[in-house]
Each structure stands twice: as C-alpha cells, then as structure tokens.
Structure 1
Amino acid sequence: MRELRQSGGGGGGGGGGAAGDGGRKTTSTSARMTIEEEEAEMMEILEQVKVQVVSYAASSLMVPDLFELGNDASLQLAKCLSAASSDPASSITFDSLGKNTSFYHCLCEELHSQGRDEFAVVIGDVVGHIVDSLSKCHSLLDEGSASTNNDGAVGGGGLYLVSALRELCTNRRAASALACLPSFLLPPPGAPSANERVETASVQQLAMMRMIQSMRGGGGDASRLLPPGAYHLRRSGPALEKDTILGLVLRLGLPTEGSNPSMPSVASSFSGAAARSRKDVSQIAGGFRRQLELYQGKCNELVRQLVVAGEESRKRVIQWLIDALLLNVAADAMRPDRSKVSSEELLMNLSVVLLKLCEPFIDDAKKAALVDPDFVCAPESHGGVYDLTGDNALPRLGENVTIEGVTYSPKNSFIPLCFFFCSRSLALSVVPGASRYENIVRNVYHIHRTIRQQNGDPRSDPRFDRILQVQFSKEIVMMSPTFIADVARFYNMAAGILLQLNKDQLKTMPEHIVDDMCSVLVYASSFAGNLLAGLDFGNLFRLTVTLLSKDYSHLVRNYNLRAKLGDVLHDIFLPRNSDRHSEVPDSVTCDPLAGGQPYLTSDRMSKETLAPSLLLLYGEVENTGYYEKNDHRTKIAALLKFLWDSPDHKAAFKGITEDKKSFITFANGIVNEMNDKFASVMETLPSIRTVQVQMANPQEWAALSEEERETITARHESNEQQVKHVLPLCNSVMKMLGFLNTDKDIRDMFLLPDMCPRLANMLLHVLNKLVGSRGLDLKVDNPETYNFRPKEMLQDLCVVFSSFAAADEFQIECARSGYYTADLMSKSVKTCRKLGLLIGESMELFDLLAIKVEVASKSLISDEDLYEDAPEEFLDPLMQEFMTDPVLLPTSNNVVDRRTITHHLLNNDTDPFNRKQLSIDDVVPAVELKEKMKLWLASKRAARDQAS
C-alpha cells in the first residue's frame, strides 16, 4: 500500500496539470480498492476467529473435559449471562452487527447444529447453575448465599439471576429448551409423585417428632406427626414456587418479614414508624417500589420471551399458569393455608406479568374485541380454571349456566386466555390483598384509640410501631401508582368487553370478575383516590348502570354484588360537595366526552334507568348483612338525593310508580330501616347520657372499682360506635322521604293500603321519641360527634307529615296507630312553631293534620264499640281485629285482612298458615264477605246514631 502511494506521488514531471490529475485519480482508485480488499480480508479473518471461538466454546460446553479450562464452562456461561444486565452493550447477547449476530446466538446455533438433545443438556446445565443460586435468594433484599466471586455458583441477587434467565431466552431455541426442562412444570394431577410429601420441618422439629413417637411406643416415620405447615405436597402452591423455574422467579418480592429473624425485612426499614414523617415514609416506600418494579420488569421480559419462543414453549407456559391458578384457589381467604397455597409475593408478581401480557389490547378496542367469552365454557382451553362443577367451580353471573352446545372457535386464542387468566389471578392476589390492607388500617386505628384511652403515647408504643411498620410495608405494592393504574385500566377494559355481550353470553361470565372490579374500585376510592387521576372509567360506569337496570336485575341476582355496584356509583362517580369529602378527583367522576359533566347526569342510560334502579336496590340490600346494609343504604340515599336535584332524572323517578311490587320493596326497606335503627338509637342515647353524667362526676366515678369502670367504659364505647354508625342512615332516610314525597305520584304510592299504615306508624314512633315526655333523655354531650341533630331531624320529619296532611287515608292510619295521642300532635305543632322549623303552607298543613287526625281518632273510637260483638268471621284470624278489606289466601283457603297479609309478605313470601309459597298477587278479594261486613257495620252505626 505504501508503494502504491509513492508511485502515485512521483508522477507528472512534465505532463502538465491535466495529465497529473489523471494519474492521481488512477492511483487513488487503486489504493481504495486495495483498502476494501484488506478490510474484506480482515473481516474474513475475524469471521474465522469467531467460528473458532464459538466452536471452542461449544466443545467446552458439550465435552467439559476436552479442555483444561472448560471443566466449568456451563457455569462460566451462566455468569456471563448474569453479568449482561449490568453492561448490556458489552454482553455476549448484544447484537452489535445486526439481528442474531451476537456471540451467544451463534453459540446456541452451533450447539443446536450438533444435536437437539446435546443442546438441551447444555441449556439444562446453565439453567441449573442459575436456578441453584436463585433458590438461595429469599427476597429481593438479599444477595443469596453465594457471592458473584464464588467460583462454585453464579451468585448475585434475584435481579441478576432473573436477568441471566432473560438473557438466556433471547435465543428462541434456548428459551424453548428451558421451557421443556422437567423442572419447568409440577407433576400432573393423578401422577404418583403429585401427592408425595415434601418436608419443610427443621432438624429440631423432626427430632422432637421422633421423641414423641418413641414415647408413644411406636416407630415408623416421624414426619406423619408433623403439623400441616411443616410439609407440603409435591403438587401444591408451595411446591410451585420452590420446585419450578417460573415459581422460583416469581416468588421473590418484598415480604414484610424475612423467612427467619436473621434475614433482612421490609418492616425493619420503617422502624420508629410512628415518629416518621409521611414524606420520609414515602421516600423509603418509593425506593423499595422502584426496586420491585425493576425486578418485575425482568420477569415480564422473561415470560414474554418464553411465550414467543415457539408453540411448545407457549404450551408449557400456559400449563404452568393453569397450575398456578388451580393450586391457589384458596389464596383469597383472609388467612390462607400457606402449606397449600403460594406466597403473596408470587401471586402479586403473577398478576403483574399477566397484566403486561394484556397490555397490547388493554387500550386497543379492536384487539380487546378478540376476547371470546366462550373461553370460560371451554375446559380444554382453560384447563379447569373456570370449571362449572366440582370443588373448584366458579359461580357465574346468571343461573343454570351450561356448556352444552357451546363451540369455542376464537379468532385469536391467546388474547382470551390472557384476559381471563389475568382476571382470575387478580382475584387471588389484588382483591384479597386489598381486603387484608383494609384490616391492617382498621387495626392501626383500633390500637391507636386504645393507647390514647389508656393515656399512652402511640409514638413510643411498640405495638403501634409494629402495626404501622406492617401497614407501610404493604403500601409498597398496594399503593403503587403504576400497579393501581394498570389494574384500573384492565378492569375498565373488562367492563367494555362485558358491555358488548348479549344476555346469554353475559350470564356465563364468572361472577368474580364484576365482584372484583367493584372491590378494587371501592378500595382505591378509600385509600388511593388521588392515584386514579387521568384514568378512564367510562366503561365501568356504563356497566354498573346496565347491571343495576331493571332489564338485567333478573340476571344479576346476587344481592351482595348488586349492593357493591351501588357502592361503586357512590364512591367513584358521585361528585364531591360540601357534605361529602372524597379523594377521587373530578376527572374520574366526570365524562370528558360530555364536556366534563358528571357521568351520573350526562349518561343517557343513567338518566333513563338509574333512579328507579336505585330505588329498587334500596329495598334489595335488606338481604345483605345487618351492618353492611346500613352503609349501602346511606350511600344509595346520597345518590338518590343527587339525582333528585337533577332535572334530567325527574321523569325517571316516576318509573318506579309503574311497578307496584318494586315500589313496595323499596318502601318496605325504608320503613323497616327506620323502625329498627331509630328504635335502637333511641334506646342507646339515654345510656350514653347516663354514662356521660356519671363520668362527669369525679367522686361518683372514682368510687367505682377499676373493673366496674372498665366494663362501663367498654359498653359505653360500643354504644357510641353503634349510634355513630346508625344515625347517618336515619338522617338520610328521613330527608329522602321528604324530597321524594314532593312528587304526587310517589306520594300516592306511599298511600296505598299496603304501605300507608306502616308509614304512619313509623313516623309517629319517631315523633313520639323526639318530642315525647322522655325527650330530655336524648340530650347528650357533643351530639354532633354522633351525627345526632334532633332539631334537623324533627324538621325533616314534620316536612313529611305536612306532605301527607291532606290525604284522608293517612289521617285515618295516624288515628289508628298505637303511637298516636292528641297531646303528641298538639305538642309537635307548638314545638315546630316555637323553633321555626316549618313556615308558611307547610306549617298550616301540619296544624291541619293534627286537627284532622283527632277527628278521625274520635270516629274510630266510636266504631270500636261496635266491633265488640262482631261475628267471628269478620275478625282477622291472626290479629283478632275487625277486618277492613278481607281477602282469601288460595294456598290455605283462609280469609285475612289485606293489611295483615301484606305486612307479612313484605318479609316472608309464604302462607302463614301452611308455609306454602305465596305472593300478594295471589290473594283474592273476599267480595261477598266484605259486602256482608259493610251491611252489618252500617246497621250497627244506624242503631247507634238512632239511640244517641
């Protein structure tokens, strides 16, 4: 090359400029061609070196004894793969010259060319080294038992080891080989090894069991005496995370406690929790959260590479997912048996992985439309995860669901699988996790309150510090902005899918999907409302309204689930105001496509169906738990008040008046609530007052023994909690009665013979307690702390009375009530005037009602004397009272008063004489008997009037 350059430089001695230029061009071209040839030659040499190096490495891996330095070749490769995560650009998997040009890829191809079995053996050896080190890691906080400098192990923490597996799977052949390893899956159900016991007891525990065995005079296997927690089956949740590759990967997380006291724990990082600032706690939690998310990211990449490695690899991953979901069906228990199910960390990581697999279609409606609902009716596809029968059967939204005749032929088989498996995984991880976190928060409140009552300092109390450490540890996952957002986005997508189904398809859907989305949303609104900002909840709102509507009420018959749907509307979609504080931002409660108006007032279906749906739901929640229905009804009442104030919903409120049965269910719920709850409050408030007076007298209180004071205090606190829980519902019910009965059609429904007597009784009962002779007993210290506002309650009550004042039937039923006295009504009128609770027409109507009821009472008293010698057939056989509207019960041929049987059937749908099924629509008016009674009563009245 130097010679060529020199000859080119010496030419052109007298040849002029042109000749010289031509010579230089020729020389330059020759030189350039020579450089290209030299580069080609160098590349050929490098390629040969590469081939030799790859061949040497492959030989070392296949025949370790062939070279002196190759006896640990598989370990060296494992270490190189582990190191790749720290410096990707210089790693053996980095494709510097294009796709599939890395040393690692070439090595895999060379190994595979030597034979598929030989290749699988090498990959198995490499994976074995990584997995061995991985098994020694207990959490993301430790580095395993072997350091990276230990020649006998890969070493490093979980992140490096999972990164090594991820790098290994960058080659599809290697990924497929890994998935085909025996340790990738558990033994199948029914295999002899599936029920083998794997002891987890320590040497000391086994020695103790042997000693007990010998003391009993027996021999044999001491492990038979081990408690369930000291062993697990070869096919079980614990085995999944200890004996399978993906289990070992996904089990690592940030547990609150280490597996033994010497292990590092998350909770210890929050020591002195009560004295820490929230900012300090957030910084610590944020650091752990970033560490966890980095690890989960590597897990996601690993699983994705296994999925795309080929059909066989994908099948093996799917089988592992099926095993994980089937073996952990009991993981949603409040205290799951850890000898049978996997750890919380594995289940949470599994949900994160499945959420990421769903990512491509979460925000893509076209791809989400590929979710075929028939997947849950195809056992050959879901592998038993969504069985309809057996121990693991999952309830469906509808009843009598069958898979007969269902043909599953999806356009895309993987998208439905990801969707439904993710739904199931969330049910076993996030949903119970949210419930456990709520319990922890309740415990924090209870312990703090107890310490304060004992005049202690929570900041120095070890019990309080401990429970706070647990709470802050749980928040790393349960308050993760990324995780909360991903779960919320998934459920909004799920709601969109369910909205597209017809009723026959919808009823086959697992009930837990709707139940879980409700649980997660209510949890997020309570503890992570600010994390919901910017997320779309439009599909969730529309699904909630749809499932509550009359057209779907027969499909979703689980009353607890229907009550949860109402809670979601209140907690997520009810806008904030001066009476209601919420952390949920306005961007969540309002529809951006409707100009930022609330979903509740802008959605078309909401305006048409929601008001009557909520009125019906108010009655239905009677079937939920005693304490739960209070909360449900308080929330429903707040929703109804908001809708009532919206002109767009007024027409819909009349919808319930068109369905008498639904209205009676709703109205009965109101009356039952007030009769039960208000009576309870009125009995409890005097007790609270008595203890307050007692405690305010130091001498009297000190004279009691410590045991007596503790007993009284405990009962007093229980009474306070009960009143605080019940009174908000009483207040909301009374206000609801007030605004609903401003509408004539609704008011007329309350005046029906089925409801009017019960309504009058309930209103007079409350009035008697508020202004009766024992009203002074209701005066307690700091009534606002109990939500007790007697003047406001009396005002709301009198507004209801005035709205019914002109109705003759209401006047008569008030007069009939056992709670009525003339003094009560007159005193109530005077109190209202004195306090200015009613003004104008309302006050006049209430005054008029008192007069009208007194007249009706005198007439009724006069008629009662006539009933004394009434024939037996005129008396109600159950109440022994003169019947006003006799009806025949076709199921037993007995005649009773309509009022009696209506009241009975509101709470029990059977004939009271023989317990046969009966509804109010079945009863038959006893026309002839009624006419006979009418003539008899007329003759009696005529005789009385003539005599007077």
Structure 2
Amino acid sequence: NVSIGSEATEDQVKKALCRVFAVSWSEECSKAYSVLHLRELSLVAAASSTKLHDLRDLINQMIMEAVLVIQDNTPTQDAPPPADLESSSNILGCWRGTRYHSYREFSSKITVVPSTQLSILKYLMDCYDRVAVEEKNAPKRTSIPPLSDALSVARSQCVHYTCLVLQGAFSQQAGSQIGYSTLIPFLLSRNLPRSFLSELVHTTHEDRGTFMKIFSPVIQYLSRYTATLGLNADTYRDPLTVMTELCSIKASGNTRPICNLMVEQPNWLPAPVSEACGMEMEKLTLLGPFLGLSVFAEDDAKVVDEYFSAHHMSQDNAWTICKSLMGILEEVRQHCYHILHNLLVNAFTREPTLTFIATVLERNNKRAQIQFDERLLCGDGFMLNLMSVLQKLSEKIDLHKIDIYYPFHYENRVSLVGKSRMRFTEQEVEEWQKEISQKPKSEVKFSTECFFLTLHCHHLAILPVTRKYQRRLRAIRDLHKLISDMEAAEPQWKNLPSAARSREQLKRWKSQYQRLQKSKMCADAGVLDKDMLVRCLSFYSRTADLLMRIADPVNRCSVVPLPTEIPDYYSALPEFYLEDMADFILFVMPLGIVEPEHKLMLRLLLVMLCSQNYLRNPYLTAKLVEVLFVLQPSIQPKTEQVNLELLMSDVAVDNLVPSLMKFYTDVETTGASNEFYDKFTIRYHISIIFKTMWTMPSHQLMYMREAQSGRQFVRFVNMLMNDTTFLLDESLDCLKRIHEIQELMDNAAKWNALTKEQQQSKTLQLSSDERQCRNYLTLATETVEMFHYLTTKIVEPFLVPELVDRLTAMLNFNLHQLCGPKCKSLKVKTPEKYGWEPKKLLNVLTDIYLHLDCETFAQAIANDERSYRKELFDNAIEYPLMDTLMMDPVILPSGQVMERAIITRHLLNSQTDPFNRQPLREDQLVPATDLKRKIDDWLAEKRK
C-alpha cells in the first residue's frame, strides 16, 4: 500500500479498474470474488506491456469483453436462469456461467422483461457506481493523476457504452420492439447512479441523431404511460418525477436539451383531427397526460372506485379522503409547474410553450359558455392543473411592466372575439382597434403574455368548474326532494296499477343520487382546495389592482366617482375581467374563506358600483350588488368584519347610498326579456344592503341628504311603492289559493269526489303556489320593512302630490285585506313555512301610518275614499286614464291633457308618452291654463 495522497502506481491503477469493472484475468480470482473472468484480456495482462497512456484502450477492451460475456450468458424468457439460483436473489442481475451478481433492484410497480440490453445496462451502471466507491475510499489518491484520469475515463466510457446499448448495438431486440426504451425501468425505479442521467444527456445532446434516438422513446413512453395512470394509486409519481428531472437537466450555454427535444416531437402540438379539438389537447399531446391527472369522476372513474366506493360514508371520513386527494393534486401541480417552468426559461422552447398554452385556451374557449359539450373539450382536472401552473408562473410579475394594450395587440395570443366589453359596442371596438393599429407597437414581454394567459385560463378553468359544482349541488338537492316526496306519497300510489313503474322510478332516482353524491365528493377534492382558492383570490386581487390602474390612470380609483371621461382601453376591455371576480367571490364567500386578498377586489367592485357609467351592462352592475349582498352579516356572519370595513370606507360612505338608489330605479328597465322578474331579485339584494347601512349613522345621514336633494329620491320611493303593491298583491293572492286547496283537502268528501287527475292537478297547483308564495313574501317583507325604517326619519318625499295618494291607497287596501271581512281567507297551515307573519305585517303597516302622521297624509287618506265617486266628474274635463278630476292639467306634446301629478308619477317609471310611447320629459309638459280656469270655476259652483 502506498501512503494516502501519493501518486498511484500502474499496477494500482489496473487493480482499481478491475474493481470498477468487476473483472479478473484469473479464473480462480473470478470464482473467489464473484467477478467476470476475461480470458482475452488475461493475455494482455500477462504481457504486462500496457502503459498508462493506453488506458482508454484497456478500459474499452475490459468493457467490450465483459459485455460480450454478459451477452452470451443473459437469461431470457426463452432461456431461464439456473435452477440452483437462490430464490431471494435478483434474477435480472445474474448471468449463467458466472458468479457476478448485480443488486440493482427494480420497482415492484414495474413489469420488466429480461433482455441482453437490460443486463448490460445494469452492469455499466454498477461500474459507474463503483467509480464513486473508489473515489470515496481514497479521496486524495483518486483526485490526482494517473488514477483520477483512469477513473474519469472509466466513468465516461460507461456512459458511452450505455449510449451504444440504448441504440441497440448489442442486441437484435431493439427497445421499440419491447414497447419502451431499456432506460425506462431504471428511470421509473429511480435506481440510476448519481449524476448518470445528467452525464448521459451531456454526452449525447450535441449529436442530434443519437440524442433523439435515445431520448425520444423515453419521453414518448413517459407520456403514454402516464395516460394509463390515475390518482387512485401512487404509480403516477414515478413518470412525473422522471419527466421533471429530465426537463431540468442543463447543458452548455444554459440550454435544456430534453426541453428542446420535447417541442420537436410530432405530438407536441398536433393539428386537430376531429371536432373534439379541445379534448385532443389533453389526449393526444405530449404534455396532455401529465396535466390531465385529475380527481374528478368525469375525468377518471378509477378515483371514485378507489376512494368513494362505499355506499355510506361519514362526512368526516369523506373530508379526510378529500384532504388527502388535495395533497396529491398539489404534488401533481408542483411537478407540472417545474416541467412548464423549465420549458419557459429555456430560450429555444419558450415560444413553442406559450403557443401550446395559448392553443389550449383557444381550442377550449367554449368552456366559457353556460352550457357546452364536455366530450369535445379538455376536462376540468386538466384546466385546473394548467391554471395552477400559470398562477405560480405569474406570482412575481411586476404589474408596472404589463402592457395594458396587449389584449388589442395584433400579436396577442388571447382572442376577445364575440366578448362583451365594459363600455364599447362591437362596432366601437373595431373602430378603436383600427385607430390604435396605426400606432407603433412595443415588443411584447413574457410577463405581459403570461399574465393575460393566466387571466384567460381562470375564465376557462375555475369559473366553469364552480358553475358545474353548483349545478351538481342543486341537482342533488332536487333529486333528494323528489325521492323524499315520492316516498312520503307511497301510501297514495302503492295500490295503483302504476305502482311497479313508480317503484322502478324510485330505484333509478336513488341510484342516480348515489352516483351524484360520489361525483360530488370527488369534486370536493378538486374544487374546495383552500390553497388553490386562495391562489385564485391572490391572482384576482392583482387583476383588480391592474384594472384600477387602467380605469383611472391618474388616481388609481382613489377618487370616486371616477372621471367622466372614460379611457378607451378600459371601455374596450371584456366584461369578464370584472364579472369573473364577482362570480368567484360569490362562490368562495359561502365557504367562509375570508382572506386579505379580498380587499383590493372588493374595493374595485365598490368603486364600479359607485361609478355605474363605467359599465354598460346592468346585469354586471347587478352582479356587483349581489357580491355586496352576500357580505351582509344576515347572509354570511363570517364576513361581518370585511363588510364593516367596506361599508365604512370613504368611498362607500360618500357614494354608496345614492348609487344604490339610482340603480334601484334604473333596473326597472334592463332590456332583457325577463327584466320584470329580475328587478325584484336585484332590489331584494339592495334592500338587505340598505337594512345594514341604515344601522350606521354615517349612512343614515346620507339617506336624509338624498331625501332632501329631490327627484332621485322621489323616483326611488315610487319604485319602492310599485314593488310593495305588486308583491303584497301576489303574496296575498297565493295565500288565498293555498287556503282554498287546503280547505278542499281537509274536506274528505269533497276531495275524494275529485278524480285522480284532478287531485294530482290540485296538488301540483298547491306546490307551485307555495313556492311562489315563499318567494313573493320574502321580497315583500323586505320591501315593506324598508318603507318602515325609512319613514321613521324621512317623511316629506312620501307626501309629494305624485306619490301620496297612491301610497295611502296601497296602505288602505292592504290594511283592508288583513283586517277586513275576508281576512280569514289568508289563514293557512304552517304559515312559517312561507314566511307569513300577518301580525308582524299589520304592525309594520300601522307604524307607517303613524310615521307619516300629518294633515297632508290624512287628507290623502280621505282622497282615497272619495276617488271612486263618479258623479264628481264632468264629461268635458274627464281625465282620460284615471277618470278622476284634474286639479293641475297639463298638455302633452301628443295633444293629450293629463293631471300633472299623474303624468309626473308615470314619468318616474317610464320616460315616455303613455298615449304614443314617444320619449317624453317633464320639462315638455305645458300648463293647460284655460282648462284649469274652467275646472276652478266648476268647483266653485259645486261648493255653493
């Protein structure tokens, strides 16, 4: 032995190489130490003429002869290993006629076919490992020539011979014939020597032919193999980890050779071959299987079978499984992020990768529709995985570096065709885009593209998924009600001829209910993941910040109302940039997820609600109102603090009351076919917000200021009165019909006298009336309560001539309904089922009388009693619509004459002439002085 650190002798170098390659030139030594006996090379050793400068040749000879020995003695499927081989040994590591054994095990999850290539690769990797053992045993001696040179050559030659093996140099059975590259078992078993894979890439990447021949089969197999896997077992981890590692390997010039190879594959971005071009991105592309790993039952039924096969499962157990699946999904997304991140930081592959992402979004743009054919588009799991990757890529983007004109750039990767805009019509967008196309374009930066691709991916991923999730919940509730109702009604149908059909229907419903419940549990894991939802909130918060910069470049929306001059590039933005935020908040708020990320989003929504001229679509404004509605403590107690901070902000205190009042009246006409019923839901939301705001002194003061300001508050009260009248009328009518049917059912003789069809018809009518009654009473109660608390502090606006008579008529009528001779027709069973509290309503109505107690109000009540006296009217001065005496007649542009208070009230509802529907303003009314003189003279004569 030589001292540590001294230079190794030639004999020591040769012995070290023999240990590395597990060979011996002596047959006795080979048997004693279980190494390969190299007969041919023993002659060279006997000559002892090999010099150190011939080491490369010596190593090549060693490897070549060892490989040939292995080739001749490898057990295969046709030639099994010796019978005396120990059962515990690794079959694929032994060769007949030798004592050499490899302990390189393969994963039990992989089925490995014995082959010459496999045996040779195991040997070469063992040798590569033994080089490291030599270096570890003698660190100083192996760090200086000649031993350092010898070991370096040995390591290099192991890799070079591996390249030859992988190209089929030592076997007629190529990798493609057994279905995969021989490298695959080593990669999936994670048993490659340290740094071996990296050195294999470095050695081959400059020879494109060799590199493609070795690694194309590898990445193709990993993709195909992953497509067969699911999250029902942990086998998905191996190909994901391998692909991540391959993508991260760098070569000279900071390039990533595997990434370069991936975008050159024919299935990187294949042309569509069917109408299912969206689904093809998941099923036919190289990256599709990795991004397609999913927990959703529609994407992979194996997840349901593995985790939720039990018919009955407690909520705690189901949630535990869901959290486990969430952790698995996070691991998958982390790997996908690293794969795509490597592709994007690699200069050569950045453009193809961005094109791939943009193409996924383009071919799946129909996911933004309320209804779409899921068979033609990527699955929910794929889209959420891609969204999560893009979220991580966008986390550190500086908003100041984003080009806000990018959505209108001629090279943009996101299509806005057919999208509704914040303010512009389609024609205005086209004209403006032509105008800006004349200006010089700046170069599009990666940060800009990445941000807008992420924004559009949210539009096609999380929003459709949450809508589908909510539809599923409604379907489960509806189906549960159907089952309960049918089971409760069984005594009525069990003896009918159709009983068998009813039982079969019940069985089908129960089976469908079970399937829906299982798919819902899978969806819980995919949709209710708090980490993912918080990342969405974070991204939308940054989007809100950007939109505020765009809408108000000078003050960033710190001054409200916003400037009257609206920036064109804001007007041209798609509505969904704002609407998606509102929809997402509406989804997460009921889940009790309250994060700091909410603040910027909620501020933006509040600013837009207080600057309604910045939005063209009234239903988008209504969506913002709904967000504010779900924040109210009576709806969501967990958001009380968030709501308080928002309502007490300067923007809300100074602007929210007048803005909501204006929208309350404006929503009377939306332009939609169902506007009449939509307005009640919107106004209900506003009434709940108003109820909270009325308890805050600063907002109460704003109500009073608005009441003093004049016309807008009068219009608001007019709409409030219209709604109260309609809703109470409908509610009371429903209660009367419910009372009648319940009385009929209680009378056994009359009920049994009806045919089965008539009974069924009455039952369905009752169900419909009960549903409508609940809805109308909910809306009516809130509207009447608003009247109640407003009149405690505000009186004068309710007493203006154009309102006071209708108000008293409405109050008197409903008081008569509740206390008159027919009040018993409003008595129903279980009134609380409908929210029917007649005593409370009566108290509220009588309070309103007291709140408005004054001579003017008393006179209006008296007017109501006299209004039906037809003898007071003179044919010559008859009011054409109401048939009442006019006290202040005015002439309309159409030539018709009307009472000023009546036409003014009409104009509060609709700015049109009631006779010809032409536009009409209050300042166009002309006093009918001659007619008024005649009326005054007639009244004076009658009073005598």
**CA shift at 1:671, angstroms?**
2.2
Contact preservation (8 Å) 2:911, 2:920: yes
How far apart in 2 are the matches of 1:479 and 1:651? 42
Measured on the aligned residues, the alpha-carbon RMSD in Å equals 3.3
How far apart in 2 are the matches of 1:656 and 1:374? 40
Sort the Cα spacing of 1:300 and 1:443 in 2 relative to 1 into closer, same or farther, 3 A: same
Contact preservation (8 Å) 1:256, 1:266: yes
How far apart in 2 are the matches of 1:652 and 1:626? 29
Report the AA paired with residue 293 of structure 2. Answer: L
Contact preservation (8 Å) 1:169, 1:306: yes
For residue 581 of structure 2, the aligned residue among 512, 517, 539 is 517
What are the residue-to-residue correspondences of 1:452-467 with 2, within 5 Å? 452-455=484-487, 461-467=510-516
What are the residue-to-residue correspondences of 1:282-321 with 2, within 5 Å? 282-310=319-347, 312-321=348-357
Alignment size in residue pairs: 762
Q: What corresponds to 2:216 in structure 1?
A: 124
Cα offsets for 1:761-820 (capped at 9, x unmatched)? 333332232222211111222222211111111221222222323152x44544444xx4
Cα offsets for 1:348-387 (capped at 9, x unmatched)? 22222222222234xxxxx234333222221312x24234
1:277 aligns with 2:314: yes
Contact preservation (8 Å) 1:379, 1:386: no
**CA shift at 1:682, angstroms?**
0.8
How far apart in 1 are the matches of 2:320 and 2:872? 83
Report the AA paired with residue 561 of structure 1. Answer: L
1:778 aligns with 2:779: no
Contact preservation (8 Å) 2:664, 2:683: yes
Cα offsets for 1:704-733 (capped at 9, x unmatched)? 554443332222122111111221221111
Q: What corresponds to 2:660 in structure 1?
A: 614
Cα offsets for 1:211-242 (capped at 9, x unmatched)? xxxxxxxxxxxxxxxxxxxxx35xx1122222
For residue 483 of structure 1, the aligned residue among 532, 544, 559 is 532
Q: What corresponds to 1:425 in structure 2?
A: 457
**CA shift at 1:343, angstroms?**
2.1
Q: What corresponds to 1:886 in structure 2?
A: 889
Sort the Cα spacing of 1:49 and 1:127 in 2 relative to 1 into closer, same or farther, 3 A: same
Q: What corresponds to 1:734 in structure 2?
A: 784
Sort the Cα spacing of 1:106 and 1:923 in 2 relative to 1 into closer, same or farther, 3 A: same
Contact preservation (8 Å) 1:83, 1:164: no
SS at match of 1:65: coil
For residue 201 of structure 2, the aligned residue among 97, 108, 112 is 108
How far apart in 2 are the matches of 1:657 and 1:299? 59
Q: What corresponds to 2:571 in structure 1?
A: 507
Cα offsets for 1:731-755 (capped at 9, x unmatched)? 11111112222334xx333333443
**CA shift at 1:118, angstroms?**
4.9
SS at match of 1:264: helix
Sort the Cα spacing of 1:258 and 1:424 in 2 relative to 1 into closer, same or farther, 3 A: closer
For residue 386 of structure 2, the aligned residue among 313, 331, 350 is 350
Q: What corresponds to 1:721 in structure 2?
A: 771
**CA shift at 1:314, angstroms?**
1.4
Contact preservation (8 Å) 1:886, 1:897: yes
For residue 495 of structure 1, the aligned residue among 539, 544, 553 is 544
For residue 168 of structure 1, the aligned residue among 240, 243, 246 is 246
Sort the Cα spacing of 1:91 and 1:499 in 2 relative to 1 into closer, same or farther, 3 A: farther
How far apart in 1 are the matches of 2:532 and 2:938? 79
**CA shift at 1:627, angstroms?**
4.9
Contact preservation (8 Å) 2:735, 2:828: yes
Contact preservation (8 Å) 1:240, 1:342: yes
1:571 aligns with 2:630: yes
Report the AA paired with residue 354 of structure 2. Answer: I
Sort the Cα spacing of 1:5 and 1:292 in 2 relative to 1 into closer, same or farther, 3 A: closer
For residue 806 of structure 1, the aligned residue among 854, 871, 874 is 854
Query: Identity rate of aligned residues, in percent?
Result: 23
TM-score w.r.t. length of structure 1: 0.74
Report the AA paired with residue 847 of structure 2. Answer: V
How far apart in 1 are the matches of 2:727 and 2:604? 33
What are the residue-to-residue correspondences of 1:434-833 with 2, within 5 Å? 434-455=466-487, 461-501=510-550, 502=552, 503-504=566-567, 505-526=569-590, 528-529=591-592, 532-549=593-610, 552-572=611-631, 574=632, 576=633, 580=634, 582=636, 584-586=638-640, 589=642, 598-622=644-668, 623=670, 625=675, 627-657=677-707, 660=710, 662-697=712-747, 701=751, 704-744=754-794, 747-806=795-854, 808=856, 810-817=857-864, 820=865
Sort the Cα spacing of 1:813 and 1:482 in 2 relative to 1 into closer, same or farther, 3 A: same
Sort the Cα spacing of 1:434 and 1:408 in 2 relative to 1 into closer, same or farther, 3 A: farther
Contact preservation (8 Å) 1:159, 1:298: no
SS at match of 1:896: strand
Contact preservation (8 Å) 2:220, 2:286: no
Q: What corresponds to 2:110 in structure 1?
A: none
**CA shift at 1:243, angstroms?**
2.0
How far apart in 2 are the matches of 1:661 and 1:52? 92
Contact preservation (8 Å) 1:548, 1:613: yes
How far apart in 2 are the matches of 1:584 and 1:58? 63
Q: What corresponds to 1:845 in structure 2?
A: none
How far apart in 1 are the matches of 2:182 and 2:680? 66
Sort the Cα spacing of 1:558 and 1:140 in 2 relative to 1 into closer, same or farther, 3 A: same
SS at match of 2:898: strand
Q: What corresponds to 1:75 in structure 2?
A: 181
**CA shift at 1:142, angstroms?**
6.7
**CA shift at 1:428, angstroms?**
1.8
How far apart in 2 are the matches of 1:267 and 1:134? 19
**CA shift at 1:907, angstroms?**
4.4
How far apart in 2 are the matches of 1:555 and 1:684? 41
**CA shift at 1:648, angstroms?**
1.9
Q: What corresponds to 1:186 in structure 2?
A: 270
Cα offsets for 1:243-290 (capped at 9, x unmatched)? 21223322231231477xxx63526743455x4321121122223322
Cα offsets for 1:580-623 (capped at 9, x unmatched)? 25363556x26xxxxxxx21343111111112222223234443
Report the AA paired with residue 690 of structure 1. Answer: E
Sort the Cα spacing of 1:472 and 1:267 in 2 relative to 1 into closer, same or farther, 3 A: farther
**CA shift at 1:35, angstroms?**
7.7
Report the AA paired with residue 886 of structure 2. Answer: M
SS at match of 2:890: strand
Sort the Cα spacing of 1:81 and 1:513 in 2 relative to 1 into closer, same or farther, 3 A: farther
**CA shift at 1:640, angstroms?**
0.8
Cα offsets for 1:42-62 (capped at 9, x unmatched)? 44333222222233334445x
How far apart in 2 are the matches of 1:869 and 1:912? 21
How far apart in 1 are the matches of 2:682 and 2:5? 94
How far apart in 1 are the matches of 2:4 and 2:363? 77
SS at match of 2:183: helix
For residue 373 of structure 2, the aligned residue among 328, 337, 342 is 337
1:939 aligns with 2:937: yes
**CA shift at 1:898, angstroms?**
3.1
**CA shift at 1:571, angstroms?**
1.1
How far apart in 2 are the matches of 1:804 and 1:141? 69
Q: What corresponds to 1:242 in structure 2?
A: 283
Q: What corresponds to 1:911 in structure 2?
A: 913
How far apart in 2 are the matches of 1:38 and 1:472? 59
Report the AA paired with residue 76 of structure 1. Answer: T
How far apart in 1 are the matches of 2:572 and 2:853? 51
**CA shift at 1:888, angstroms?**
3.8
Report the AA paired with residue 421 of structure 2. Answer: P
SS at match of 2:144: helix
How far apart in 2 are the matches of 1:315 and 1:79? 33
How far apart in 2 are the matches of 1:43 and 1:342? 54
Report the AA paired with residue 201 of structure 2. Answer: C
SS at match of 1:452: helix
Q: What corresponds to 1:229 in structure 2?
A: none
How far apart in 1 are the matches of 2:832 and 2:526? 37
Q: What corresponds to 2:231 in structure 1?
A: 140
